[in-house]
Structure 1
Amino acid sequence: MPIFNQSIRRKIVGIALGLIVLMLVTSILSMVMSSQVGILLDELTNRYIPAYGHLARANIRSLERSVALRRMVMMKMQAPSEEEAYAARLREFEEADRKIDDEAEAARTLINAIIDDSRTPSDNAGLARIETRIETALTELRQAMNEDHAKLLKQVDDKQMTEVRGTLEHLDTLRDQFNQRIDTIRADMLKQVFASTRTVIGRQHQAIVISAIVTVLAAIVGFAFALLVSSGITRPVRLLLAGTREVEAGRFDKTITVSTQDEIGELAAAFNRMTEQLRHNERIRETFGRYIDPKVVQGLIDRPEVAIDGERRVMTIMFCDMSGFTSMSEGMTPRGLVRVMNHYFTVMSGPIRGNRGIIDKYIGDAIMSYWGPPFIEEDEQALLAGIAATEMVDQVPALQKQLPDLLGIRAMPAPCDLRIGIATGEVLTGSIGSELMMSFTVMGDAVNLASRLEAVNKVYGTRILISQATADAIGARLELREIDHLAVAGQSAPQPIFEVMARAGALTGAQDSLRAHYAEALAAYRARRFDEARAAFNAALEAVPGDGPSRTMLGRIAQFEAKPPEEGWDGAWRLEQK
């Protein structure tokens, strides 16, 4: 509809103007009908009722004339005759006679005015008959009385009292006849007054009813018009609100139908463009989420200053590597190698992301990931990293069975296993790189230590090694075993390193015996009681045959027996190579 293509301002002004027009129409109609009622009331008040009054006074004037006539006769009949009094009564008689004519003429004039007024409904035929009857009655009265008056005056002058009485009686009869005719005319005139009154009352009632109906219709039309226009405004607003809530909930597929060309229509079109851009950005985010962890992307969106300025935070770093990858990859086709690596990264990335870790990068067959603020709380990071490591190790047996099927061979050319190193410490987080390409990553001693611990697994034959800071943060929430005091390449001060054996309470009896014997052996080893240490390490191997750390430590004892450590030896082992 064209009305919906207008601006909101024009719609509101249109509603206001429409309501004003309806109000004006109602007011004008009420004024017209009130004026018509006023005209009828004016006619009733100034014509009908006065005309009736003139007829009533004509009766009175007739009586006054009769009284004046008798007084005049009385004055003439007295002895001696009072001529002055007679003349006064004669004047009264003539005045009363003239007033009868005046009252009758005034009544006729008003009746003719009613008949001539085309603005008001009236019984013109009935009024015309009344006017004619008044004229007839007056004419007939005048003709009859003029003769009797002249006769009466002559009889009075001649002192013919008997004849005077007869003439007076005849005059009274004529007067009564005239009064009766006037009374009949007045009765008919009263009917006309009542009819006019009913007309006025009816018109007034009609005006009230019509005004009420028009007012109600105007209100209904105005309300419908306002409702129609306002719905054209509020409906898109409600759609915008619903769309905004969808966007707030992260659903960007909501599209609003643009049904108007006003400001709200423009806003709806802008909203659709915004959601399209958000969908586009979400597709970009999903695409880059395969290259950059989505949590990092969201973190950079929420706090872009972190990427620019960098921050120092305590974080837990993990390095994961596949052992035997080099020999395994030598006999693979490029396509087979890509298939294997993609499957391997998919399987190993699941526990990391499942435990709220951030995958920083894939390096060859290695995975670098980290835990820490602002992505998780600081007191949870070490435990989550340890849990992720145990879950990754749990995936190794299934992975070893799946790889031959992926390559289409019966058995792998070389066994594969997993090595994980975890360290906790202060690192620098921020965007590192060139002007052309940058990467949000972490840097620091904890990163280097985690990388070294991953490699140290080869020395001890372990799968998961963690730093002392990580072990302190985990506490008793995982089953740990201290392996050695170690100074990795690049570090001068040795520190304890620990193996993550299992979740809390998940150790078998053999593993628990292994940990106890190994702790006893490690204490004897650091105290240079190598015979006692050898016996305890062997006891550990009896509990869990093939335990890598026990074998490594027995090899060191053999070296120390051939070449004892120097005086002041602190029981630590130092690695010169990475």
Structure 2
Amino acid sequence: MLVQMAQECSGMGFIRNSIGLKIFSVASLIVFLMVGITVMNLRVQAQVSHALEQVADRYIAAYGGMADANVRSMEQALYLRRLVIAKILLHDDAIAQTTADDIVLNGRLFDETVANIRTELNRVDTRQDVFADATTLARIDEKLALAQEQQRRYEEDIARLQKQVFSNDVAELQQALPELGDWRRDFNTHMGETRQLMLEATRNAADNAIQLQQSATRISVIAVLLASLLALAVAAWITHSLVRQVRVLLQGTQSVINGQLDVALPVTTSDEIGHLTHSFNTMTEGLRVGNRVRDIFGKYVDPRIVEDLIEKPQLMSSEGERQIMTVLFCDMQDFTRLSETLTPAALVKLLNRYFTLISEAIHENGGVIDKFIGDAVMAYWGRPFNAEHEQVQRALGAMLTMREKTQQLQNELPQLLGFRTNLPQIGVRAGIATGEAIVGNIGSDRTKNFTVIGDTVNLASRLEGVNKLYGTSLLLTEEAAVMAGELFVLREVDTVVVSGKTEAKKVFTLVGRKGTLPDTSIRLLQHYAQGLAAYRAADWSAAREQFQTCLQINSLDEPSAVMLERLNQFASQPPSADWQGVWLVAQK
């Protein structure tokens, strides 16, 4: 592949003295040196690994085997004393016979262990293994052979002693036992010397392996340094031939680092540097676009806002624009009570899931989430994201989706909160207002928000709170009701003056999609409309009759119950003579 790359670089007619060919030559030299160093290291590592395997598999194993053989021989002496005690003192023939068998077993194990050690050490090829000490290994073998011979004589003495034990010859035992003790001490000394020789052989082999590895490391370091010096020399030569063009690129790069993204370098050559300069100019252009995108993305949330502002930079004007918008404010019902009864962890988990579902409902219906305020969400519909005639329809569709998703959240509560009893009831209240509003970038020079402000926004927020008065989940203005078209069934609730306003507004609530309501709901709407008309005409008797009929159809219809309660209040405190059917809402 490298050769093919070099041929391609050399074959390009517009490139002279290809930089790629020079770099290829330097790389080939470095690769050759690195391969040589690697091969040398592998050979040395193989030798070191072989030496360490010898130390681990033979030397250390032999040392451990010697210790084990010595233990077996010592156990023989202990079993012999146990045999004397069991037979002479305790007169227990069963224990005596078992102990005699253990003496024979330990003698056999000693002989097998020493034989295995000698076999393994004799496998060491001192002609190929440069770390093996042939003289030391020969001395060890001689000592092990002597130990085997001494052990055989010892076992013969033990056999004679066992006959004396089983014949109860106490006099002979008293003479033989001290002699065996003296022999045992001499034998232990002999085995200790043998183990010491084995330990020295092991240390010497390990030290030799370490010295070889250190030597290989020094050679590798020297070779790497030489290769690096050679590579630096060639690189310096190449750099000298390219320094002019590179300095220009360096100055341009420094300008970009300092934030000057409008730099454009002249392309003066047709070689790789020329191509690199052209790529640099392309890169700075991309950085300018990317920087603009990052600035915009940091100021706006909805992806459609970012996309529109990139494609239409004129929208970034901070002057704003007055246009018809539909604004929705919604929050969670009884959030204050929930916050007092749930633990902080459970409340955060519930809020996160609630906001996720509400956001999905808004996005699925083409809305733009403007902000989260505590447990409340503000969203809007309008240009440039929605056509004016579909704003309210999409907002009402979002409200119906919210109702479905809050029911989904209600079903998820046991798993979400970790308990199944006394679960809170989750609901959503919303206010929708349609009217003129100012749309644009609002904020500081560093951080902006593409948002909606004006009386329409404030009215939507107030209507969300008025739901508490009528027991409804949604209230919308008359302007919004008119723009809803024929797709939805709406119910006029009352005429109110919300807190902070002086203008009376008819308010409506959403009943459902057209064609999906049962007959009882349709009859209730008719009677409520008749009762509301009578109420505004101050015909209290007729209004009371219609509202009572509504409660007969649906005893849980809260707007009818509110109006009946208001009629009872008027019975004791009638409104003024100039009353026009408007209710003043004191609360926000």
Following superposition, the deviation at residue 551 of structure 1 comes to 0.9
Counterpart among 301, 309, 318 of residue 328 in structure 2 = 318
Counterpart among 528, 531, 542 of residue 532 in structure 1 = 542
What are the residue-to-residue correspondences of 1:396-435 with 2, within 5 Å? 396-411=406-421, 414-435=424-445
Say whether residues 1:518 and 2:528 are aligned partners.
yes
Counterpart among 284, 289, 301 of residue 292 in structure 1 = 301
Structure 2 Cα separation of the partners of residues 557 and 525 of structure 1: 8
Structure 2 Cα separation of the partners of residues 419 and 482 of structure 1: 17
Following superposition, the deviation at residue 436 of structure 1 comes to 4.9
Distance 1:266 1:469, change over 3 A: same
What are the residue-to-residue correspondences of 1:36-115 with 2, within 5 Å? none
Task: Note the alpha carbon deviations across 1:125-153, whole angstroms, 9 max, x for none.
Answer: xxxxxxxxxxxxxxxxxxxxxxxxxxxxx
Say whether residues 1:346 and 2:356 are aligned partners.
yes
Q: Which amino acid aligns with 1:356?
A: G
What are the residue-to-residue correspondences of 1:335-484 with 2, within 5 Å? 335-411=345-421, 414-484=424-494
Determine helix, strand or coil for the equivalent of 1:395.
helix
- Deviation larger for 414-423 or 313-322: 414-423
Q: Is the 8 A contact 1:421 1:451 kept in 2?
A: yes
Percent identical among aligned pairs is 41
Following superposition, the deviation at residue 529 of structure 1 comes to 1.3
TM-score, normalised via structure 1 length: 0.52
Following superposition, the deviation at residue 568 of structure 1 comes to 1.6
Counterpart among 2, 5, 18 of residue 9 in structure 2 = 2
Say whether residues 1:328 and 2:328 are aligned partners.
no
Distance 1:402 1:285, change over 3 A: farther
Following superposition, the deviation at residue 415 of structure 1 comes to 2.4
Q: Is the 8 A contact 1:403 1:412 kept in 2?
A: no
Structure 1 Cα separation of the partners of residues 580 and 555 of structure 2: 29
Distance 1:335 1:572, change over 3 A: same
Counterpart among 261, 268, 281 of residue 272 in structure 2 = 261
Task: Note the alpha carbon deviations across 1:185-219, whole angstroms, 9 max, x for none.
Answer: xxxxxxxxxxxxxxxxxxxxxxxxxxxxxxxxxxx
Structure 1 Cα separation of the partners of residues 395 and 568 of structure 2: 36
Q: Is the 8 A contact 2:414 2:423 kept in 1?
A: no
What are the residue-to-residue correspondences of 1:87-236 with 2, within 5 Å? none
Structure 2 Cα separation of the partners of residues 8 and 498 of structure 1: 77
- Which of the pair has more CA radius of gyration? 1
Match of 1:561 in 2: 571
Structure 2 Cα separation of the partners of residues 433 and 283 of structure 1: 17
Structure 2 Cα separation of the partners of residues 388 and 556 of structure 1: 32
Structure 1 Cα separation of the partners of residues 573 and 15 of structure 2: 95
- Deviation larger for 558-567 or 409-418: 409-418
Determine helix, strand or coil for the equivalent of 1:308.
coil
Structure 1 Cα separation of the partners of residues 274 and 303 of structure 2: 37
Structure 1 Cα separation of the partners of residues 450 and 411 of structure 2: 35
Following superposition, the deviation at residue 352 of structure 1 comes to 0.8
Structure 2 gaps of 5+ residues are 1-7, 19-270
Q: Which amino acid aligns with 1:2?
A: C
Structure 2 Cα separation of the partners of residues 357 and 451 of structure 1: 17
Structure 2 Cα separation of the partners of residues 400 and 464 of structure 1: 19
Following superposition, the deviation at residue 542 of structure 1 comes to 1.9
Match of 2:313 in 1: 303
Distance 1:524 1:261, change over 3 A: same
Structure 1 Cα separation of the partners of residues 391 and 17 of structure 2: 60
Q: Which amino acid aligns with 1:293?
A: D
Structure 2 Cα separation of the partners of residues 281 and 406 of structure 1: 41
Q: Which amino acid aligns with 1:320?
A: C
Q: Is the 8 A contact 1:460 1:548 kept in 2?
A: yes
Distance 1:298 1:452, change over 3 A: same
Distance 1:436 1:276, change over 3 A: closer
Task: Note the alpha carbon deviations across 1:4-61, whole angstroms, 9 max, x for none.
Answer: 66658999xxxxxxxxxxxxxxxxxxxxxxxxxxxxxxxxxxxxxxxxxxxxxxxxxx
Match of 1:494 in 2: 504
Distance 1:515 1:275, change over 3 A: same
Determine helix, strand or coil for the equivalent of 1:564.
coil
Q: Is the 8 A contact 1:361 1:367 kept in 2?
A: yes
Q: Is the 8 A contact 1:510 1:543 kept in 2?
A: yes
Structure 1 Cα separation of the partners of residues 283 and 443 of structure 2: 37
CA RMSD of aligned residues (A): 3.1
Structure 1 Cα separation of the partners of residues 444 and 288 of structure 2: 28
Following superposition, the deviation at residue 285 of structure 1 comes to 8.0
Structure 1 gaps of 5+ residues are 12-259
